[in-house]
Structures are given as C-alpha cells and as structure tokens.
Amino acid sequence: MAKFTKLQVINTICESGMIPVFYHKDLEVAKQVLLACYQGGVRVFEFTNRGDFAQEVFSELVKYADKACPDMIMGAGSVIDAGTASLYIQLGANFIVGPLFNPEVAKVCNRRLIPYAPGCGSVTKIGYAQEAGCDICKIFPAGNVGGPSFVKNVMAPMPWSLLMVTGGVEPEKDNLTAWFKSGVCCVGMGSKLFPKEEIAANNWSYISNKCNEVLTLIQSMR
C-alpha cells in the first residue's frame, strides 16, 4: 500500500528535481545504496523491475525504507503491464514508471491514486498519456529523441506539461543546465549516479556526496 498521497509524490518529484534509478539483485547492496541516497538528500527513489525476483527485493527494500529512511518515497520502474503495476503497488510502490505508455497501467494507477510516469518519445504519446491522467510524462530515451531541444519544443505549445527525462542525463553542470533550461521538471539518473566500481568497492559515501552535489546543482538552476 502506498505510504504517500499522489499530491505529495508529485510535489516532491518536482521540488527535488532528481530521481535515482537503481536495480540490484542483492538486497543488502540495495539497502546500502538507498541509505546513501537518503543521506545525500534524496527523497524519491525508483527501483527498477529488471531482474528475476526484483519484486521480492523491492518488497524488503520498502520495509527497510520505512524504518531507516522514513521520508523516502519509493517507486517502481521498468513497468510495462497492468499486472506488474498492481503487484508493485500492493508491495508499497508510491509511483510507477515505465519505458512506454500503456493505458491499462494508467487505469490501475488512477484507481489507486498512484502517479504513473510513462515513457513517451513523441508529442502524440505525451498527449495520449496526459489524456489518460498521467501528470508526469517521462521522455525516453531522452538523449535519442532530440535531447533538450525536443523538451523545449514540446513545452512551447504545451507549457502545462510536467516532463521527466531519463537517458542521456549526466551528473554534470553543463548537462543538467541544458535539461532544466529546456523546461524539465525532473531528471532520472541511473548508471552515471551509481558507477559499478563504486558499488563494488562499497563506497557508499561517494553516492551520498554525488547525490548531494546533483541536488544542489539543480536547486541553483531554479
């Protein structure tokens, strides 16, 4: 069951401006990464459905977050069908993210008042998603469908849009500046925020510091 309301989730996503996107099959590693993000100021976290038994890791991670990171809003990503969305919502997902737009997922999320951010690669898909009640649309893969220029050109005729970008986002000032100047409300970041070598070395302070650095940069751009 969701711990936070739909409005709380949307507001926090827009206010923070960044969602870490992460998956690991080892629960203990996932816990450490989650805690490191929390200590770095992150308050919205997307765990992706990308491996066998990912839902079991997520279930335990939500329970851990409730005690160790009480203000963390947990969501599930890489969700492409209604059944999977229902499963993750039941396990405690406060929002659902997908690489594509599926109207059936929107219905499930709307019924439970859970934000659904579908992946959209065209203006038409964004329009369809908004018609289905998606408050935030994820531009994906953002770096391949036009980058910041695409976002800027969408926002011109559709300024009410809340757009999150994933793919082609880097934790660097120039990259982040380009995205936020184009009009995005939020960026999603995965491998660039969690280098494999730092995870392997259990360098959790690196993750905390990098998260804090990115969040500080984003706030300075607003």
pTM for this prediction: 0.97
Record the tokens describing residue 194, joined without a space: 């969690």
**End-to-end Cα distance, the chain:** 33
| Residue at token pair 């392997």 | 200
Superfamily (CATH) of domain 6-215: Aldolase class I (3.20.20.70)
Q: What is the pLDDT of residue 75?
A: 98
Domain ranges of the chain: 6-215
Per-block mean pLDDT, blocks of 10 residues, the chain (222 long): 94 98 98 98 98 97 98 98 98 98 98 98 97 98 94 97 95 96 97 94 97 97 86
Q: What is the pLDDT of residue 2?
A: 86
Q: What is the pLDDT of residue 173?
A: 95
